[in-house]
Every structure is written in C-alpha cells, then in structure tokens.
Amino acid sequence: MRKYDSILLDPYIFSFYVRFYRDVQMTDGKFMETSDFVAFPLIPYEVYSFSTIKSLTLDSSLFDYEQTSCLDGPDVSDAQNFRWLSGYSNFSQTDLLIIQGVTGRTQISANYSIISQQVGKFSSNFTDLSYYSISSLLLPSTCYMCETSGCFGEDFSPVLDYWIIPQFLIVFSYFVLFFGLKLYKKPAMIRRIGLPYCSLLGFSLMITFTGLSRTCVGFWYSVSLLVMIWWFFIYITTIAQFYFLRNLYSLIVRFPKREKLLKMMASKKGGFLMTVVMTFFLSIIVNCVSTFFFINEDKSLADIYRPVVILVLLILLWIIGLVSVIYDVITQRKSIIRDGLRKFFFYDDPFYLRVDLLTLILPVIIAITSGLENLLVDSSNTYIVQILAGIFNTLACFSFTLLSGGNVLIIEIYKMIANRNVKKNESLEIELENSEILKIFKEYCQKEFSSENYELYIILKSLKESNVVRLTDMKDIESQFIQPYSKFEVNIPSVCKKEFYALMKDCDKDGQIGYERLWDCLGPDLLLNLSDTFKRLQETSTYKKWESVQSYTKHITDVNP
C-alpha cells in the first residue's frame, strides 16, 4: 500500500486492508499509523437530485458510536471511526457548498432527514470528543480480529480449525503403526517408495484449509494446490512403476540393448528419482495455475477455484485407476472366472495395488458431497457450515491416508492377526522339493517381482547334481545374477559378491570348483531372500488351499496304506 499515492476504497474496505497489511506484512518499526493517511471525501462531477424520495432505508448503525468497540471487531470499529471523521455521517451544509462550487451548480438541495433523526446520538456521543481524539481511536494496535493477540487472519474460524485435531490423530496413528509394527519393511510398502509417507502431504493439505490460509490467501492456496498436484503425480508415477516392473523382463527381452537402462529405472534409486524428485519439480511447473490466486484477490472466487482444481485432479486420478483395473480384469478374465476375485486382488497382486485403485473413488465421493453441501446449506449459518466442512475435511484426510499406505497397513495387520498361530516346521529346501509348491512359488515370485531369487535357486539346484561348477557356469551366473543391473541381479551383500569373484578366480585357475563352495557363498543369503517371499506365500489363500489338500491326501494315505 506504500507504493500508491492514493487509494479509492469505502471506509470498511479501506480500514480492513490497512489493518491486514499492517498486522501481517509490516515488520516492527514499519507499522502504518493514522497520520500516514489523509481522508478526502469524493466530490461528484455531476449530481442528480429528485424532488421526492419514495423510500429511504435508515441504517442507524452508521451513527452508532457503540459499534466502535473492539468487541465488534477492528474491521467494524475502524470503519465506523472513518465514517465519523470523513464519511457521510458528518455530511454538512459546508460540504454541499463545496459540491456546488466544483460542479458549477447554482443550487443543490439535500435531504438531512437521516442525520436529523440521529442528532441525539451526535450530541450524546461526541460532546467530549474532538477530531484528534477520534483519530487516536483509529486502527488501535491493541484491537485484534479475535480476542487474543495471536489471531493472524481476517476471517478466523475456530470451529473449523478444531477439526485439525482428529485429522492429526489419523495421520499420527498411521505412522505409529507403520513404524511400530515395522511395516516399512514390507515389500508392499517398499515398492510404493515415497507413497507411504504421502499422508503427510494429505495432512499439509488439511492445514491449508484452516484459518492459516487467511493470513495470505494467494500464498497458502498456492501451497495447497502444490501439495495436491505433487501427491497426484506421485500416485500416477507409482502406478506406472508397478506396471513397468510387472513387464520388466518382457521389456528386457524385447529391448536387449536397453537392458541396463531398464534395470536402472527398476532400481530403488531410479524409482525414487522418478516418483518423488522429478514429480516435485513437475508439480512446481504445473502449479503455475496458482497464479490465479495472486492476480485475482477476490477470495470468494478463490474458494471456488481451488476446490474445482482439486476435484478435477481427483476425478482424473480415479479414471486412470479405473482404466487400470478394467484392463487387468479384461486381460485376466479367465483366471478370475476360474479362481475368483480374492485371488485376483490378493494373490495375483501381492502389493495390493488394485485395492488402492478401487479406493480412489472415496475422495471423489467426499469432494462431490462437500460441493453439494456448499450449494444446499445456507452460507449464513456459519456454525453448521464449519461443522460440515470439518467433517468432510476429516473424511478426506482419512481417505488420503488410506490411499497413501493405509490400505496396505490394514491388510498387513489383518494378516498378522490371522496368521499369528500358524507354525511352519519344515525348512524351505524341504518344502521346495514338492513340484506342485515349487510351481506355485515360481508364480508367486513373478507376481512379487522377485523372480531373480527363484531363477538362481533353480540353477544352483541343477548344478548340485554334478557336484562341480565349471568356469562357464560361473560366468553365466556372474553375467545374469551378480553384475550390477544384470537381467536377474540378486540382492546379496557385497561380501558375498567379493567371495564369489574370489571363487571365480580359483575356478579360472583350476578349471572347476566344488559345488559346496559356491553354495556356501550364495546359498545362505539366497535362502534368506527366498524365505521372506515364501513366508508371504504361506499367508495366501492359494497356499492354504494347497496345504489343506496335502493334509487331506496324507490323511487318506495313512488311513488306507
């Protein structure tokens, strides 16, 4: 406001913006004072007068000095003082003569009926008040938008802000379970990369819906859209990453010259770079739509524009998720008919992505219902509006938490409870001696993107029969499983890799090495990787069905030897 020589505003809007800029944007020593402004009443160039006035609405509050109290809010009291000093509440015959001189009119009549009716208030309120004393009451620094000095905004809504408490508890409870039960180690969480932590973005979005946004609508509304757009891109790229991993080996076969690049993209570092880092910078670019909030200072339009953009993003994300699920249903329709939906949603998708994609409808329903509430509920009933807004915001926070790892958390906790009494006595090697379970295990490894462990196990198992390992065998294992970004690179410690290359040198020198030396090098860590996958297989309905059949067959055999 210091950039302009004059400002054309009515008393209420003028005092509102002066106080807003002074209290929010000005630092100590730069506060605006009453003496910084000189009020000049506008003089019309032309005046049209009517001999009769059919109706004249009297707003006695314009002359009521009692409304200059802080209890009525600084916006009302400041405007009232401005009216007393230079507004129409002290319009006199002198002002009328000035208008006559400027406009060139020889005679102008005025209706003083409003002032005449309020003359009692003039005499009772201002007998002991001078122009200076009224000026000293203008823009007092001890008068706030709320009853405490900690109030920052121009439209503080404490009822709505209280809902941030249950929203915080939702996110806090999620992370307590997430870290307390060590679910961050689960493959379904690991494969989601940054998504399990995006409930923080959802909570940040809820914060921008509170009274905090009133301190600077342009900035905080822009932040809210940036948060939403970033979450949107993280989710889309995570979906793309899942489908990419699902088809990784077929892509390597189709584009053998791009094998290293494809493996780099499939790595954890590559996934983090694409789904978190790149999406952040892309979100900043796309968030240029937030320029609207800075160009257009109409808050009512901003309150419409922001939810519309958020709703469009949610609907677009839901459509992408729906198309993905429909595509999977079409491509696996025979399997669904044969094995049912449970296998389709859980065994065939051990990362529960399809469950998440179906849940995408929740925030869309909440957003649409919230929009209908704004249209149907009378906006003048502020308390009810704030209560409903708080409920919808809390439901939205819950749905964002579900989509950002909450679904996986619920499923994993259910599996922990359901399998708490399950005991497995046989070792993994004994289990895999069964050809049927080996086939099921191979299929499950493919769905969990861990085929490399299974493939190496099969190769080592085939080498066991000859009891020796030749140099060609070592080179094949090294090129397919040990080299960085190889086709089936296995996740083993660097110590194992060093030991493997030491064995490779011995093999090159002697022509062959004993099988036991190779197994002692790779076997323990390989079995550890396979055991983690096999434990998750044992929790599936497919394995339990197979186990039930095996137990029944064994029982029949024992009864009828």
pLDDT, tens digit (0-9, with 9 covering 90-100), for 252-290: 878 888 888 888 888 888 889 999 999 999 999 999 888
Q: Using pLDDT thresholds of 50, 70 and 90, give the confidence band for residue 34.
A: low
Q: How far is residue 249's CA from residue 466's CA, in Å, rounded to a whole number? A: 29
pLDDT at 209 over 80: yes
| pLDDT (mean) for 473-502 | 86
Residue 68 confidence (pLDDT) above 60: no
Q: Give alpha helix (H) positions in 268-401.
A: 268-272, 278-286, 291-295, 299-331, 333-339, 341-342, 353-359, 361-376, 382-401
∠ CA 111-116-119, rounded to 5°: 150
Residue 172 has pLDDT above 70, yes or no: yes
- Measure Cα distances from 165 to 210, 215, 363, 396 in Å: 12, 20, 20, 14
Query: Which of 21-35, 193-207, 489-503, 524-538 shows the lowest mean pLDDT across its residues?
Result: 21-35
**Torsions phi, psi of 250, nearest 5?**
-70, -35
Distance CA 395, CA 400 (A): 9
Of the two residues 135 and 509, the one the predictor is more confident about is 509
The pLDDT score that the predictor gives to residue 152 is 41
Computed over its alpha carbons, how large is the radius of gyration of the chain? Answer: 36
Cα(341)–Cα(358) distance, integer angstroms: 13
Does residue 534 surpass a pLDDT of 70?
Answer: yes
The most confident of 52-66, 139-153, 182-196, 529-543, by mean pLDDT:
182-196
Q: Which residue has the tokens 């009515």?
A: 10
The residue-averaged pLDDT of 513-522 equals 88
pLDDT, greater one: 514 or 398: 398
Split at pLDDT 50, 70, 90, the class of 434 is: confident
Higher confidence at residue 323 or residue 97? 323
Give the Cα separation of 330 and 356 in Å (integer): 18
Q: Is the pLDDT assigned to residue 243 strictly greater than 80? A: yes
The CA distance from 112 to 128, in Å, is 24
Each residue's pLDDT tens digit, 395-425: 999 999 999 999 999 999 988 888 776 555 4
Mean pLDDT across the stretch 16-34? 57
DSSP 341-363: HHIIIIIS-TT-HHHHHHHTHHH
> CA-CA distance, 514 to 365, in Å (whole number)?
64
Give percent above pLDDT 70 in the chain: 67
Confidence of residue 149 (pLDDT cuts 50, 70, 90): very low
- Kindly state the average pLDDT of the residues 227-238: 95
Average pLDDT over residues 332-359: 86
Residue 24 sits at the vertex; the CA angle it makes with 22 and 27, to the nearest 5 degrees, is 70
Instruction: Name which residue leads in pLDDT, 315 or 46.
Output: 315
Residue 238 half-sphere exposure toward CB, CA atoms < 13 A: 29
Percent with pLDDT over 90 in the chain: 21
Question: Which overall architecture, per CATH, does domain 428-559 show?
Answer: Orthogonal Bundle (1.10)
pLDDT at 113 over 70: no
| In contact, 199 and 177? CB cutoff 8 Å | no
pLDDT of the residue at 146:
47
439-483 pLDDT per residue, tens: 888 888 888 888 888 888 888 888 888 888 888 888 888 888 888
Q: What is the pLDDT of residue 148?
A: 40
DSSP assignment, residue 106? S
